[in-house]
Amino acid sequence: MGGLILLSGALTACAVSMYLSFFPFFLFSLTAFPAGYVIAYAAGRTEDQITTGMKGVLCLGGCGLLFWAGLIAIDNTFTYSGVIQQVQQGMDAVLKSYRNSSSIPVDRLLEIDQVFSQVKSIFPIILPAILGNSIILTIWLTIAGGNGLALRFFGKRPWLEYKYWNLPDKFIWVSIASALFALIPDTRFHSIGINCLLMCGIVYVFQGVAILVYFFDKWRVPYFFRLPLYTLAAIQSTGTVLLMIAGIADIWMDFRKIHKEKSA
């Protein structure tokens, strides 16, 4: 039944995308199909969510690289440097429109100019982390959302409730190694360390969200209060950093007493 739904959806999306001249976007969306099957297969075998997530990230990332390689073979402008150049040109166009606006004060324009110059300088360095985090976020949403949908439609979850999700303690060594690489003055090692550190950070944000959900359930916080708090945590950089810190601190603090229950 799932295969029929996917096939009918894909055919419908193909027809609509061709009519609206969005066919390349449709082709890009097909790169998610193999990862979806990998996650569904893992759910059927009740593999743990960490292993499933790693398989999904590798599969989706590999399909994305193959799609990008195909684009490069067709059009040379889709190279890594070409993407950076196009984004920076877009930033220059936006900055130019700000400068031409008479309603923005001069001091505000100077602040905007500084922000854009900083973003332009750091964007080429962290682009791998941006792409990697988009893949990690996609897989996380799929597993977390699919876990709830499975309970709703089939009466059971393939994985634990999200509030009990927990990263292996040894994963902190990946973050420590990434931080050490980031401190090396050599440009290549520094870039690798920064990108790995950013990708480790988003994973710990997910653990921080799990802790937040756990205490919301424990304290029986009404759902209409939870949504604004989730939104603030996602939008505000301070909230995201606090969730990441909570996720890292959980390794030693064990806020949800998961390690205590396992030992018992």
Q: Please indicate, yes or no, if residue 138 is contained in any of the structural domains.
A: no
Quick one: pLDDT at residue 255? 93
Q: Please indicate, yes or no, if residue 219 is contained in any of the structural domains.
A: yes
Q: Please indicate, yes or no, if residue 92 is contained in any of the structural domains.
A: no
Q: Please indicate, yes or no, if residue 152 is contained in any of the structural domains.
A: no
Q: What is the mean pLDDT of the chain?
A: 91
Q: pLDDT by residue (tens digit) across 207-256?
A: 999 999 999 999 999 988 898 888 888 888 889 999 999 999 999 999 99
The pTM (predicted TM-score) of the whole model is 0.91
127 token code pair: 């682009």
The secondary structure of 140-168 as a DSSP string is: HHHHHHHHHHHHHHHSS-SS--GGG----
Q: Please indicate, yes or no, if residue 114 is contained in any of the structural domains.
A: no
Q: Please indicate, yes or no, if residue 53 is contained in any of the structural domains.
A: no
**Of 259 and 109, the one with more pLDDT:** 109
Task: Provide CB contacts within 8 A for 31, sequence distance 6+.
Answer: 60, 63, 64, 66, 67
- The owner of tokens 């998610």 is 32
With CA atoms as reference, report the closest residue to 207 among 167, 242, 236, 177.
167
Q: Please indicate, yes or no, if residue 33 is contained in any of the structural domains.
A: no
Residues 249, 169: Cα–Cα separation, whole Å: 11
Q: Please indicate, yes or no, if residue 128 is contained in any of the structural domains.
A: no
The secondary structure of 59-113 as a DSSP string is: HHHHHHHHHHHHHHHH-GGGSHHHHHHHHHHHHHHHHHHHHT-TTS-HHHHHHHH
Q: pLDDT by residue (tens digit) across 152-211?
A: 988 999 999 999 999 998 999 999 999 999 999 898 899 999 999 999 999 999 999 999
Question: How many domains is the chain built from?
Answer: 1
Confidence check: pLDDT of 264 > 60: no
Q: pLDDT by residue (tens digit) across 50-78?
A: 999 999 999 999 999 999 999 888 887 78
Share of the chain above pLDDT 70, in %: 98
Show the domain range for 201: 160-257
Note the residue count of the chain: 264
Residues 258, 264: Cα–Cα separation, whole Å: 10
